[in-house]
């Protein structure tokens, strides 16, 4: 299949490379010359104009920083420029409202489109092991699925347009809350005289068990290899966790609910980010608790 890929940053670079590995012809576009050059090295054809990159393609994939950029790329360079019948896949993490609006604009112009945000970070993007949560019509989902399967290990249809984004921010709100809770539990256990490994051995097989503990332990040397073993570098940056928690709070307000724990997690990550830790892995928040 011939596919245009727009947004070849930390995530998109590896994802586009995996489409090439799966045998697709990929037209790459990014505003960054360095990102574009790297995509060229991975076998993509490179373009300096998005409108040219979408010529003659059957699918367009975007992996961009935020909703305003996603909407401007689709309205300015994709809708009406990609061939009739092309399917669009936005894999960025953006607000639910903009996702629904952009998909409605694409559909009004006769295209199928899904929102397909991911779970998994840069390592999963490079390895092709992302999980995609997909919003859109049954037809759009079936058309997008084979493209997503070349970049991930799981592709799940979450329902109508925008539901992929809804699933993503609800999941990440829960992740932010349980990471903070896990950090507090380890800090408190230690202050009460428990060895962190002993607490892990107990809690990881008890009712406090959760992903932040057993797959991503914030205490160095405990549990499987994680960013805490690498001085909290790599992994999922605090700035991105904060972005997702802000999107979650916006969505909560639009749905008329007030999730107290979600708000508190957002405030704590906002303070951690403001203290200069935006690039630090989000599990590094444990350092504020000693």
Supply the residues annotated as catalytic.
168
| Size of interface with ligand NAD, in residues (CB under 6 A) | 25
Question: Contact between 9 and ligand NAD (CB under 6 A)?
Answer: yes
What element of type H or E holds 280? Answer: none
* Half-sphere exposure at residue 18, Cβ-oriented, CA atoms within 13 angstroms: 23
Q: In Å, how far are 18, 58, 190, 217 from 227, measured between CA atoms? A: 24, 38, 20, 8
Binding mask 177-216 for ligand NAD (x = CB under 6 A): ----------------------------------------
DSSP secondary structure code for residue 83 in this structure: P
Query: Among 8, 116, 169, 174, which residue interacts with ligand NAD (rule: CB under 6 A)?
Result: 8
Chain-centre distance of CA 83, in angstroms? Answer: 27
* Placement of tokens 């608790």 in the chain: 289
Q: Which stretch binds ligand NAD (CB under 6 A): 26-34, 148-156, 187-195, 255-263?
A: 26-34
Question: Contact between 11 and ligand NAD (CB under 6 A)?
Answer: yes
Question: Contact between 269 and ligand NAD (CB under 6 A)?
Answer: no
Nearest partner of 76 among 44, 54, 45, 99, judged by Cα: 54
Query: Among 30, 95, 112, 115, which residue interacts with ligand NAD (rule: CB under 6 A)?
Result: 30
Closest distance of CB 198 from ligand NAD, Å: 32
Question: Contact between 32 and ligand NAD (CB under 6 A)?
Answer: yes
| Residue 49 CB contacts under 8 Å (≥ 6 apart), including other chains | 29, 77
Q: Which stretch binds ligand NAD (CB under 6 A): 6-14, 151-159, 224-232, 257-265?
A: 6-14
- DSSP states of 144-203 as a string? HHHHHHTTEEEEEEEESTTHHHHHHHHHHHHHHHHHHHHHHHHHHHHHTT--HHHHHHHH
Closest distance of CB 102 from ligand NAD, Å: 13
Question: Contact between 12 and ligand NAD (CB under 6 A)?
Answer: yes
Please, which residue, 121 or 152, has the CB nearer to ligand NAD?
121
Around Cβ 71, how many Cβ atoms within 10 Å?
Answer: 18
Closest distance of CB 197 from ligand NAD, Å: 28
Question: Contact between 261 and ligand NAD (CB under 6 A)?
Answer: no
Dist CA 165 CA 117 (whole Å): 6
Closest distance of CB 123 from ligand NAD, Å: 9
Around Cβ 207, how many Cβ atoms within 10 Å?
Answer: 6
- Binding positions for ligand NAD, rule: CB under 6 A: 6-12, 29-32, 35, 63-65, 69, 73, 92-93, 118, 121-122, 236, 240, 243
């Amino acid at each position: 299949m011939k596919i245009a890929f727009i947004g070849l940053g930390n995530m998109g670079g590896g994802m586009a490379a995996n489409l090439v590995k799966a045998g697709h012809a990929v037209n790459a576009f990014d505003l960054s010359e360095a990102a574009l050059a790297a995509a060229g090295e991975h076998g993509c054809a490179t373009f300096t104009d998005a409108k040219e990159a979408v010529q003659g393609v059957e699918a367009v994939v975007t992996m961009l920083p935020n909703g305003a950029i996603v909407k401007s790329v689709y309205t300015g360079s994709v809708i009406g420029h990609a061939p009739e019948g092309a399917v669009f896949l936005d894999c960025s993490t953006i607000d639910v409202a903009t996702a629904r609006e952009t998909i409605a604009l694409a559909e009004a112009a006769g295209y199928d489109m899904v929102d397909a945000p991911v779970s998994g970070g840069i390592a999963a993007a490079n390895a092709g092991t992302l999980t995609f949560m997909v919003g859109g019509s049954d037809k759009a989902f079936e058309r997008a699925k084979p493209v997503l399967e070349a970049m991930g290990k799981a592709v799940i249809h979450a329902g109508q347009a925008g539901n992929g984004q809804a699933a993503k921010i609800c999941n990440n709100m829960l992740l932010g809350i349980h990471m903070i809770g896990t950090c507090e539990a380890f800090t408190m256990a230690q202050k009460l005289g428990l060895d962190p490994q002993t607490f892990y051995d107990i809690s990881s097989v008890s009712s406090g068990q959760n992903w932040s503990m057993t797959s991503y332990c914030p205490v160095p040397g405990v549990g499987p290899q994680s960013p805490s073993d690498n001085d909290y570098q790599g992994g999922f940056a605090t700035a991105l966790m904060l972005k997702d928690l802000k999107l979650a709070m916006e969505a909560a307000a639009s749905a008329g609910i007030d999730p107290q724990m979600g708000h508190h997690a957002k405030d704590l990550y906002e303070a951690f980010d403001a203290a200069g830790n935006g690039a630090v892995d989000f599990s590094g928040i444990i350092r504020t608790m000693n």
